Homo-oligomer: A and B are copies of this chain.
Amino acid sequence: MPAGFADTPPPPYYAVIFTSQRNGEDDAGYAAMAAAMVKLAAGQPGALGIESTRGANGLGITVAYFTDEASIRAWKANVEHLAAQKLGKQRWYAHYHLRVAKVEREYSGPDGR
């Protein structure tokens, strides 16, 4: 699987789509926390992978994949993650929108990998 892509199993599984707008403040603090959270998320029960990117305008989309809803709720309640969520609201995000969705089908390309 190429770098940046989540190597997920055949559906069904769940996706947490997190769209966020950075406020342009504290880039270093944000980057450190984001890296720590990606690493922590990867080790959670039910975690299947993560895809994340952010443009020069500060708009970012992160999609984290999990086996089931219970795993998503457990990750949201993780103590270190709760601290990060609080800082995100206070310091780093101008706006965010989170959606939980059940992946039903998928395909890849151009070569079907």
* A interface list, Cβ under 8 A from B: 2, 4-6, 8, 11, 15, 17, 19, 21, 51-57, 59-61, 63, 88-90, 93-111, 113
Q: Count copies of this chain in the complex.
A: 2
Most buried by B among A90, A99, A102, A105: A99
Q: Tell me the smallest distance from the CB of A99 to a CB of chain B, in Å.
A: 4
CA distance A59 to B47 in the complex (A): 21
Check B63–A95 contact: CB distance below 8 A. no
* Option from B4, B17, B59, B90 in Cβ contact (under 8 Å) with A53: B59
> Contacts A17-B15, A54-B53 known; A97 to B5 CB distance under 8 Å?
yes
* A95 pairs with B5, CB closer than 8 A: yes
Q: How far, in whole Å, are A94 and B109 apart by their CA atoms in the complex?
A: 8
Closest 10 CB pairs of A and B: A101-B101, A89-B110, A53-B55, A61-B61, A99-B106, A4-B59, A97-B108, A101-B103, A2-B95, A53-B59
For residue A100, which residues in chain B have a CB less than 8 angstroms away from its CB? 103-106
